[in-house]
Amino acid sequence: MIATSTHCRALRIALCIALLGAAVFGGCITAQNVAPPKPKLVVLFVIDGLPQRQVLDYRDQLGPDGLRRFLDRGAWYAQAYYGHAHTVTAAGHATLLTGAYPHRTGIIGNEWRDPVSGIEVYNTGDEAHTYLENRTAKLSGTSPRNLKVETLGDVLRRADPRAKVMGISAKDRGAILPAGKSGTAYMYMWDSGRFATSSYYMREHPAWVKAFNGAQRADRYFKVAWSPLLPAAAYARSLPDGRPWYGPGGRLPKTFGEGLQKPAADFYASLLPSPFIDELTLDFARAALSGERLGADEITDILSVSLSGHDYINHAYGAESRLSHDHVLRLDRMLEAFFHDLDRAVGPENYLAVLTSDHGFAPVPEHSKSIGRDSGRPNVNEILARLNAGLAVKFGAGRWVLGWSADGVLLDSKLIAARKLDRRAIDQEARRLLLAEPGIVAAFSRAEIEGNALPPDTPFLAAVRNTWHREVSADIQLVVKPYWLFGTTHKTGTTHGSPHEYDTHVPLLLYGPRWISGGRVDARVEIVDLAPTLARLIGTGAPAASEGRPLPIPELR
């Protein structure tokens, strides 16, 4: 017995030394205490325009291994929010892997106006670069030039240039911004039904991209119908088809390519508000997994896949529609199939998956009115015309207003200087006039955003400060009333872009059985917390501008 005990003790000591050198835990390190290797692949799924409420509303109708892989066996955050005011696609995608809000990233919206010239700027626009093998229209997104900070992928590739970082989306901004400065982005070309990158990243597409595009995968949806996945009774909790506030095509089933003799640009664009664009995007992601050998070695790679169809569907019909309800269920089945392919290609315990969204969605104003909410659609052009007229009454005739810019109003600084006016006086008068407009609940001048005159708990002030960048933002930043939408002439569909609950509350789901255990987390967290969390899990530094903190993760013990 003494000899056996001595022998076992010697083996235990040797095992401890072999595992962690001199580190000990109660005389020895057990297998549970050995840190797992870094993930071979981090996969970020961004469901464009998916509010948190839609994930949970249909939980009983989900398949066994799509969204429920996160909900049943991963960590999910019941109170995850964006903390900036202008909640749109580009701003959200720029936040995800930088850990920074627009006041640092410089991506204050999808588009904005140059504060000096008033000329429109597109978030990923760069006239120095063009799409490969495809037409490049004005204001196309071709590079991350306007992104002022680094992403997690940039940090990863700086530490080891062999790491691969890739962004894929039907939208240029959904691909380019998560990929950062040193990754590679591929986006869907509405004209051709193919995926392409730009000259910012390379001179020629690799062979696997040419092979994918040569197969013309989008054409398989020509004259194919989108029909409801479940029987009619299953959609009782969503609004029926054909509501008067729906955009065109608001009924299922609907067939794509009707009236056309063969696939062409109109058909390829028509796939965007459908589940087919997401199937196509995931197919391209599968090709990228194989073609780039993502997750094939011990060096961590990052793959961001932004699925854009849900955003287009919600814009046209609303998140309360049967079309949106059905699309959530179809996304769930698509994710299940993609998970199974990831399991085979990378190994079920070799990758870390994250699912979130870039913003939520406001209910359609006409639907809100029908259930007794105060709601409306203030016309931006009319607001600006009344503002200019009001400023003219007090300060003299002139074009005082240059335009609308990312939910802000840009005034003509040159005219103000030429008239030798007190800048704060004209800003305050503009603010007063704007607060008198129906549908506007808050307005903040540059001095109020940058200064300390207002109490820190002033409603919406913190969110506006997070969304406002001093080099690119407008002079007066506005907040629309709850359930109201800034618009122009459209009287159908809906949008997003406010700091209200329905626009800021999004899903945040993590799955990686070697790094986290399952569980619901009720602590309030922010989406800026994701980047530093992933940095910790893959063993690298957080992006320099990151302002988040690591999420409370149910870690393995």
- The Cα–Cα gap between 557 and 555 comes to 6
Cis preceding linkage at 550, omega within 30: no
Tokens representing 175?
A: 């691909």
Nearest residue to 554 via CA among 46, 70, 81, 51: 70
3-state secondary structure of 429: helix
What are the DSSP calls for 434-491, one per residue?
HHTSTTEEEEEEHHHHHSS-S-TTSTTHHHHHHH--TTTS-SEEEEEPTTB--BSS--
- What count of residues does the chain have? 557
3-class DSSP state for residue 557?
coil
Supply 304's token pair: 């961001």
Closest residue by Cα to residue 189 from 125, 140, 241: 140
- Of 405, 513, 367, residue with least CA distance to 75: 513
Query: Across the strands, what pairs with 112?
Result: 121
Nearest Cα to Cα of residue 185 among 163, 216, 164 = 164
What is the Cα 52 distance to its own chain's centre? Answer: 13
**Cα atoms in the Cβ-side hemisphere of radius 13 Å centred on 383:** 28
Query: H-helix or E-strand containing 156?
Result: helix 152-159
CA 283 to chain centre: 20
**Contact of 469 with 115, CB cutoff 8 Å:** no
Give the number of other Cβ atoms within 10 Å of residue 99's Cβ.
30
CA–CA separation, 50 vs 415, rounded Å?
Answer: 43
Structural contact between residues 454 and 461, judged by C-beta atoms closer than 8 angstroms: yes
Q: Report CA-CA distances (Å) from 291 to 212, 287, 295, 532.
A: 10, 6, 11, 29
Q: Rounded to an integer, what distance in angstroms lies between the CA atom of residue 545 and that of residue 94?
A: 12
* Catalytic residue chosen out of the listed positions 87, 89, 98, 105: 89
Collapsed DSSP state (helix, strand, coil) of residue 411: strand
Residue pair 295/40 in contact (Cβ under 8 Å)? The answer is yes
| Distance between CA atoms of residues 297 and 299, nearest Å | 6
CA atoms within 13 A on the CB side of 543: 29
Residue 467 designated active-site: no
d(CA 492, CA 366): 8
Question: Known catalytic residues?
Answer: 89
